[in-house]
Amino acid sequence: MNFDELPEFQKEFKRLAKKYQSLPDDIQEFKKVVSVIPLGNSKHFNIITQNETFCVIKARLFCRYLKGSSLRVIYAYHEKEQRIDFIELYFKGDKENEDRERIKEYLEREKL
């Protein structure tokens, strides 16, 4: 499985990693899970949108530093290419929902 990150995701990751020291390890663990089960296997994974080439998924990211799953990660899974693009990462306490505008921009970019 190949992993890619949008520049916005990288900025959010850096900012949150300063606050939550376990985040780099937690994201590695998350990558291992989605490598095996890209669409998730529980109520902690939710497909936001899906088309014939890929689907965008919102998932809870368990953070050891927070002692719970208050972080959310939005990613796109491209089945044919075996690729996952990380779109957004946020703390549930700071923001209630995902950035729909960013997801729309990602969908537009992928259609090209």
Q: Can you tell me the distance from the alpha carbon of 49 to that of 32, in angstroms, rounded to the nearest whole number?
A: 23
Burial code (b: 16+ CB inside 10 Å, e: under 16) for 50-86 equals eeeebbbbbbbbbbeebeeebbbbbbbbbeeeeebbb
Condensed to tens digits (0 to 9), the pLDDT of residues 62-104 reads 888 887 657 999 999 998 999 999 999 998 877 878 899 999 9
Name which of 32, 25, 46 is nearest 3 in CA terms. 32
* Contact between residue 71 and residue 24 where contact means Cβ atoms under 8 Å apart: no
Q: pTM for the full model?
A: 0.90
Give the other-Cβ count within 10 Å of 108's Cβ.
Answer: 9
The two beta strands, 45-50 and 68-78, are: unpaired
Number of domains composing the chain: 1
Domain extent for 69: 2-111
Task: Please report the pLDDT score of residue 42 as a whole number.
Answer: 82
- Residue 14 is part of a domain; what is its CATH number? 3.30.2310.20
Confidence at residue 68, expressed as pLDDT on a 0 to 100 scale: 66
